[in-house]
Amino acid sequence: MSTLELRDVIKHFSSDIETVRAVDGVSLAVHPGEFVALYGPSGSGKTTLLLLAAALITPDSGAVRFDGRELSELSEREAALYRRHDVGLVFQSFHLMPHTSALDNAAIKLTGDGCTLREGRRRALPWLERVGLGARAQHTPEQLSMGEQQRIAIARALANEPRLLLADEPTGNLDSKRSREILALMRDICHERAIPGLLVTHDRDAVPFADRLHTLRDGHMTGGIDPEPAAICT
């Protein structure tokens, strides 16, 4: 079962001046086919949690597991393979290559994995079609809207068929209509592919799209937001 599981996770950041408890005892499970949102204000620990789930950093205590594997026990090489094969990451900034077609942008992650560009394009095209950009595969980012650029980034994140979708403020650069489309798209893909998806955001508009919502404040999960959404879990 490819569940993402965080158990009593604590992560500090220390400098000469202070120690910040960025994540303060978070426990959370995201099951296959679930699209879960963590909602919290800036500085509440959202990005840190996502970096932990992506095995880009390790917790000071507690456990982060995917598919039963404890991520902090992975070697550097295993963690890199986990990120490359198992994780699809979507950010606020799209990080697309300029003057390069949507198709090649979506295929790039695959070519880094040893497959040819031709093969990468063949595998990426159905994902561009899935995100509604099949007809614009040859357009470059400059020729596309912000919403369309985020769609390319989602196709790129999914082109190698990851087993986990992680999204950090994916709608931060989008207007509300495009935001809703992108959120619905990510939710639907998690349902269709039966993969767990974790969205972290301070965007209230994201709330109705999550199968489950948790709120984060000062590194720990709290009860509710104001105004209270329909379905909120602690």
Ligand X SMILES: Nc1ncnc2c1ncn2[C@@H]1O[C@H](COP(=O)(O)OP(=O)(O)O)[C@@H](O)[C@H]1O
- Positions in the binding site for Mg ion (CB under 5 A): 46-47
Residue 48 engages ligand X in binding (rule: CB under 6 A): yes
Our CB check for Mg ion shows the closer of 46 and 178 to be: 46
Which tokens sit at 37?
A: 């949102």
Residue 44 engages ligand X in binding (rule: CB under 6 A): yes
**Which member of 16, 19, 42, 135 binds ligand X (CB under 6 A)?**
42
Residue 22 engages ligand X in binding (rule: CB under 6 A): yes
Partner interacting with residue 33 (select from ligand X, Mg ion, none; CB below 5-8 Å by kind):
none
Strands 19-30 and 4-14: antiparallel
Our CB check for ligand X shows the closer of 44 and 215 to be: 44
Cα 207 from Cα 10, distance rounded (Å): 25
Residue 121 engages ligand X in binding (rule: CB under 6 A): no
Residue among 35, 88, 59 nearest 200 (CA): 35
Our CB check for ligand X shows the closer of 25 and 43 to be: 43
Our CB check for Mg ion shows the closer of 14 and 42 to be: 42
Partner interacting with residue 75 (select from ligand X, Mg ion, none; CB below 5-8 Å by kind):
none
Our CB check for Mg ion shows the closer of 47 and 72 to be: 47
**Which member of 32, 40, 141, 170 binds ligand X (CB under 6 A)?**
40
Our CB check for ligand X shows the closer of 57 and 131 to be: 57
Residue 201 engages ligand X in binding (rule: CB under 6 A): no
Residue 177 engages ligand X in binding (rule: CB under 6 A): no
Cα 70 from Cα 136, distance rounded (Å): 40
Minimal distance, residue 47 CB to ligand X, in Å:
3
Segment lying near ligand X (by CB under 6 A), choices 43-51, 91-99, 122-130, 149-157: 43-51
Minimal distance, residue 193 CB to ligand X, in Å:
26
